Structure 1
Amino acid sequence: MEFTKSKALFEEAKKFIPGGVNSPVRAFPSVNIDPPFIQRGKGSKIYDVDGNEYIDYVGSWGPLILGHAHPEVISALKDVMDLGTSYGAPTDLETRLSKLVCEAVPSVEMIRMVNSGTEATMSALRLARGYTKRDIIVKFEGNYHGHSDSLLIKAGSGALTFGVPNSPGIPQDIAKNTITAKYNDIEGITNIFDRFGKDIAGVIIEPISGNMGVVPATKEFMNHLRKITKEYGSLLIIDEVMTGFRVSFHCAQSLYNIDPDITTFGKIIGGGLPVGAYGGKREIMKHISPIGDIYQAGTLSGNPLAMTAGYITLKILKENPYIYEELEEKSKMLENGFVENTKKIGVKATFNRVGSMLCMFFTEKKVVDFSSAMTSNTSQFAIYFEEMLKQGIYLAPSQFEATFLSAVHTKEEIQKTIEANYHALKKVI
C-alpha cells in the first residue's frame, strides 16, 4: 500500500495540531507507524487519501452500527441542514430522540442531551454529588469515562487509598475525592464501602469495558454494586457511552437486569455526530437546572443535526430487531475464525466478546480486569496491526481497544478478514 499523501498531510497537521491529531490514539503511537488520512466512508469500508480501501472495524470508535453514510441517515441530515444547523433554542427533534431513549431504557425516566461522552459522565458526577450532598466518587481501574478531571484518576499505592492524577493539570484536591477500585473484585469494593460508604456519592462503571480491551463485568459483580450502593445511599452510574444500543437495543444494563440510578450515553445515540447524554430516575434528574439547582448547560446541546442522525439510527434499530441477531451471528463467525487461526499457528491469545464488540488479547491469561489485560504482548499486537492494515483491514491502533462490527459487514468481508488474520498472525510468530 502507498501512503505518500497521508504522510505529507500528517507532517502538515503536526505544525498546527498537537501531535497532528485531535484525539491522541489517532496518531497511532502504540503501533509505531503513521496514520492513514481518511477521505470518505461508505457502508463497511473507508478510503484514505492515497486511494487505499479498508474493511473498517473501528466505525468511528463504535457509533456507526449501521455503517458509514447510511442512506436514511444522510437523507434526513440533508433535509435538516436545509433548515439550519443550530438555533440555541428548543426543537421537537430533541424531544423525539429523548422519548425514544427513555422508552428503550426503563431506568431512564428523564434525559439531558450534551455534546460528548466526557461531558455526559462529568455532568453525571456533578448530579450524583449534588443529589447526595457527598463528595467521593468510586471508579474502576481500566474503565475510561472521558477526560474530565474527576475521572482521569489512576489508583493509589494501596487497595484503600484515594487516587492520584493521571495527567498534569489535575489538582490533587480533585483526585483526593476519587477512589479507583479493582474491576470485578467484590471483596475490594466491599472494603471501600466499609471504610468510606457514608461519604460516597456514587459509583461509576462501564458494564462492558472497552478501553482496556473488551472486558465484561460479571453479573455477580454488577448485582453486588447495585446492592451495596442502595445499602449506603450512593448512586449507581452506568456508563453506556460505548455499550448503549451497541450490545442490545435496551443497552448493556438489560443484559445484566440492572436498574441504575443514572446512565450516560454517547456514540450511537448521535448516529455518528458529536453527542452525549445522561439520564435516570425522575426524582434525581429533576435536580438539574432549570427545574433544580444543579447547573449544567451547553450551547450546541441537542443540536438538530445530532438529534436527527441519532433519532433515525435508533428508529432503524428499533424497527429492525433482526439487526442484533445478525450482528451476533457475524461477530461469532469472526471470533471463531480468529480463535481457530491462533490454534493452528500457535499464537498465545485470549478472546473476549459481547455482541458486536470483540477483542483479541495477545496473552494466554484470561482477561477479567486491568492487571490481566496488561499481560498482553503489545509488541506482537503492533506487528499484527501493521500486517492487517497492509491487507486492507482497519482495526483500532491499540491492543486495548474494541473491534466493532456493523450491520453492513458481509460474511464475505468477514471471511476475508479471517484470512488476513491468519497471514498477520504468521508474521507475528
Structure 2
Amino acid sequence: MILGHAQEEVVEAITQAAARGTSYGAPTEAESRLAEQIIEAVPSIEKVRLVNSGTEATMSALRVARGATGRNKVIKFSGNYHGHVDSLLVAAGSAAATLGAPDSPGVTPGAAADTIVLSYNDVSGLQNAFAQQGDEIAAVILEPVVGNMGCVVPTMEFLQTMRDLTSQHGSILIFDEVMTGFRVAFGGAQERFGITPDMTTLGKIVGGGMPLGAYGGRKDIMDQVLPAGKVFQAGTLSGNPVAVAAGSTTLDILKKSPPYEALEKMGERLAAGLSSAASDAGIPHTVARVGSMMTLFFNPDPVTCWDQADRCDRDAFGRYFWGLIGEGVYMPCSQFEALFFSRLHDEAIIDETIDAARKTLAAF
C-alpha cells in the first residue's frame, strides 16, 4: 500500500467502478487503459495481460516462456518466492545446480522435476547451469530485489551475467516484480538497475490493494498467448473492473506525484536508526535496503543468499517483533519478510519507530 490505506482517490475510484458493475466477464476500456499505463511505465513490457494475483502472473509467465521456447526446464533461486505455483515450491539441493525436490505437501515430484534451484547472487553456479543445460532452459525467474528471505540485494554482476547468459542461450529472463514493481522505482527494479528482462510479473501496487496481477514482456513472446498464439490463459475475473479502477488510479497518482525521492530519504533514515539501535544494544546485525524495502537481519554478516539468511537468529527476531508490538509498532512477522513503508510515513513516524526499536532492543 504505497499510498497508505484507504487513500481517498483510490477509494472513490473503487466506489464509482462498483456502482457501475463488479464483474462483466469481458474486456473493458478501463482494462485497456491500465494496460497502457503499465506499458508506459515498465521498460520491458510491450504487451501485457491482466490476471488476479501475483501467483497467477508467475504461473502464466512460465507457461508462456515454455510455449515460446519449446523447452521445459526453469531456473529459480533458493529463497525466492513466486507464489504457490507447484513447479516453484521447491527447495535447493546441496549441489550448485540440482533438480528441485517438492517443498510443500501436495506438490508432486513430477511438478518439480524440471525446476533447477540455484543460490542467489552465485554467478559461477549460474554459469555452470547454463554450460551444462543451457539448451534445455526455457526461463530464469527471480526476484530482482528479494523480499521473501528478508530484503536481499542483487549484485550487478549477477544480474548482468543472467541477462547475458539467457540472451546467449535463447532462454527467457523473467523478473518477478510483484513486490518491486512501482515500489523501488516507478518502472520497478529493472528501471533502477538498468537491466531489461524479457518478461515481467506484477502484483500488489499495480492493483492498488485489490486482487490484480499482470504479466507482460516482448511482443514476440506475448504473441504466443491466445488468441494470437496457442498458449492458453483466461479468467472470468481477469481485468476485474473494480480492481482495475484501484490500480489505474494508484498508478496515476504515482506518476503525477512521484514519492520515490521521499521514500528513499525515509528509507535511509529508518535503516540507519534501526542499525544504530541494534549497535547500541550490542546486538550482532546487518541491515539491507533498496528504497523503501529493507530488513534488519539478526545476523552479523551481510546476507546475499538463502544459506546466509538461514543463519539469522530467529529467536532474537521473535523478541524484537513482540517487543515492538508492545510499543504499538507492527513490523513484518518473520525475519524473512521484507519491511515496506508508504509515502504517509513521515519523519515523525519513522523516528517513533526507531525509538520503539531502541527501547525493545535495549531490553534484550
- Could you state the TM-score of these two structures normalised by the residue count of structure 2? 0.99
Q: Which of 270, 273, 288 is equivalent to 1:334? A: 270
Q: Which amino acid aligns with 1:209?
A: V
Do 2:98 and 2:118's aligned partners in 1 also have CA atoms closer than 8 Å?
no
What aligned pairs does 1:26-175 form with structure 2 within 5 A after superposition? 64-175=1-112
**Deviation (angstroms), 1:259:** 1.4
Task: Give deviations 1:179-228, integer Å, cap 9, x for gaps.
Answer: 00010011001101111110000000101000000001111100000000
Q: Which of 307, 311, 329 is equivalent to 1:393? A: 329
RMSD: 0.8
Task: Give deviations 1:44-87, integer Å, cap 9, x for gaps.
Answer: xxxxxxxxxxxxxxxxxxxx000000000011111111111111
CA distance in 2, matches of 1:294, 1:330: 44
**Deviation (angstroms), 1:426:** 1.6
1:366 aligns with 2:328: no
CA distance in 1, matches of 2:349, 2:250: 23
Query: Residue 172 of structure 2 aligns with which residue?
Result: 235
Q: Which of 204, 226, 242 is equivalent to 1:267? A: 204
Q: Among all aligned residue pairs of Structure 1 and Structure 2, give the percentage whose two residues are the same amino acid.
A: 50
Q: Which amino acid aligns with 1:214?
A: C
**Deviation (angstroms), 1:256:** 1.5
Do 1:271 and 1:313's aligned partners in 2 also have CA atoms closer than 8 Å?
yes
Q: Which amino acid aligns with 1:365?
A: D
Query: Residue 285 of structure 2 aligns with which residue?
Result: 349
Do 1:365 and 1:375's aligned partners in 2 also have CA atoms closer than 8 Å?
no
> What secondary structure, in the 3-state scheme, does the structure 2 residue paired with 1:100 have?
helix
1:222 aligns with 2:166: no
Unaligned 5+ segments in structure 2 are none
Q: Which amino acid aligns with 1:414?
A: I
Unaligned 5+ segments in structure 1 are 1-63
CA distance in 2, matches of 1:328, 1:192: 36
CA distance in 1, matches of 2:144, 2:83: 15
Do 2:26 and 2:236's aligned partners in 1 also have CA atoms closer than 8 Å?
no
Q: After TM superposition, which residue ranges in structure 1, 4 or more long, deviate above 4 angstroms? A: none
Q: Which amino acid aligns with 2:120?
A: Y
CA distance in 2, matches of 1:314, 1:260: 21
**Deviation (angstroms), 1:90:** 1.3
Query: Residue 226 of structure 2 aligns with which residue?
Result: 289
Q: Which amino acid aligns with 1:372?
A: Q
**Deviation (angstroms), 1:114:** 0.3
Query: Residue 11 of structure 1 aligns with which residue?
Result: none
Task: Give deviations 1:336-369, integer Å, cap 9, x for gaps.
Answer: 1111111211111100000000100001011111
Q: Which of 112, 124, 132 is equivalent to 1:187? A: 124
Q: Which amino acid aligns with 2:190?
A: Q
Query: Residue 238 of structure 2 aligns with which residue?
Result: 301
> What secondary structure, in the 3-state scheme, does the structure 1 residue paired with 2:10 have?
helix
Q: Which of 258, 261, 275 is equivalent to 1:325? A: 261
